[in-house]
Amino acid sequence: MTQINMTNHAIRRTAIVTGAARGIGAGVARRLARDGLAVAVVDLVEEDCAGTVDAITRDGGTAAAFAADVNDESAVTAAVARIAAELGAPTVLINNAGIGGPNAGVEETSTQQWDAVTGVSLRGAFFLTRAVTPYMLAAGWGRIVNMSSISALGDSGRVDYAAAKAGLIGFTKSLALRLGQHGVTANAIGPGFVVSDMTRVGAQRRGRSFEEHQRIVAQTIPVRRVGQPEDIAHTASYLVSPEAGFVSGQVIYVAGGPVD
């Protein structure tokens, strides 16, 4: 197998970031582009990715938008093939795409909601990883980062979301065990409260303005502030770097304090 020395920063790597039209995904995509990676900005609608792509290219980076429903196997396969042809073989994958349904206990969660939430976060991560792994194996190098959540530790009001995010942790550790000998690492990030469309919806459900909601939540966080997409992006940047080659199978909670 041909080995590529990825400690040479002159080599342009290609990263795929899913759910990158906004929020955490957009923040991660912009950071990886600043780190010198060519970034495939993937979301459900290609036009929605324009803001992220434009921000990257204005800063002198390389990025292109790609549409894919990550819960659709054939769409993922086609998107990854197109990314490899247009940007180069992907050796960095950020499985960030995810959705959250309404707060509901297990007795109130419909089958359709369960399938939708777990399908995007967990099934989608499987499809992307399976499609990208051959490129990493061919290169003898790769980085996989799965976006979990502190909800993976349990969330009585979002059993579907918690299950999907917990599943990603098991998936991550299994990938680390399987792929490590090939120069591929796999890690998970577990964000706490981060400013995003999802947390904005959470404020609306509680009848609060988003600003008030952030102030209330911040008082429960040891560092006394809420997270920003950039906080997650900093961690992702390290995990996909050549310097993180001895870090694999880990879950890093980026939550402003310890989590149980």
Averaged pLDDT, 21-41: 98
Do 198 and 135 lie in one domain? The reply is no
- Judged on CB neighbours under 10 Å (0-12, 13-18, 19+), 9 is exposed
Q: Which domain, by its residues, includes 217? A: 193-226
Residue 7 lies in a domain: no
Averaged pLDDT, 181-197: 95
CATH number of the domain that residue 77 is part of:
3.40.50.720
> Which pLDDT band holds residue 21 (cuts at 50, 70, 90)?
very high
Task: Assess whether pLDDT exceeds 60 at residue 4.
Answer: no
SS3 141: coil
Task: Assess whether pLDDT exceeds 50 at residue 221.
Answer: yes
Averaged pLDDT, 205-229: 93
Do 115 and 185 lie in one domain? The reply is yes
Residue 206 lies in a domain: yes
Supply 206's token pair: 């509680």
Residue 111 lies in a domain: yes
Task: Assess whether pLDDT exceeds 90 at residue 129.
Answer: yes
What does the pLDDT look like over 63-103, one tens digit per residue?
999 999 999 999 999 999 999 999 999 999 999 999 987 88
Do 132 and 168 lie in one domain? The reply is yes
Residue 18 lies in a domain: yes
Do 206 and 158 lie in one domain? The reply is no
Do 131 and 28 lie in one domain? The reply is yes
**How many whole angstroms from its chain centre is CA 75?**
18
Is 253 catalytic? The answer is no
Do 80 and 98 lie in one domain? The reply is yes
Residue 101 lies in a domain: yes
Task: Assess whether pLDDT exceeds 70 at residue 12.
Answer: no
Question: What pLDDT was estimated at residue 202?
Answer: 80
In 3D space, the residue among 16, 12, 18, 3 whose CA is nearest the CA of residue 147 turns out to be 18
Do 93 and 208 lie in one domain? The reply is no
Do 138 and 197 lie in one domain? The reply is no
Query: Annotated catalytic residue: which of 135, 161, 238, 253?
Result: 161
- Judged on CB neighbours under 10 Å (0-12, 13-18, 19+), 93 is buried
Total domain count, the chain:
2
> Which pLDDT band holds residue 9 (cuts at 50, 70, 90)?
very low
Roughly how many angstroms between the first and final C-alpha of the chain, as a whole number?
42
DSSP 119: I
Averaged pLDDT, 204-221: 91
Question: What pLDDT was estimated at residue 3?
Answer: 40
**Length of the chain in terms of residues written:** 260
Predicted TM-score (pTM) of this structure: 0.93
Residue 2 lies in a domain: no
Block residue for tokens 């947390």:
199
Do 98 and 132 lie in one domain? The reply is yes
Mean pLDDT of the chain: 93
| CB atoms near residue 4 (< 10 Å) | 15
Residue 167 lies in a domain: yes
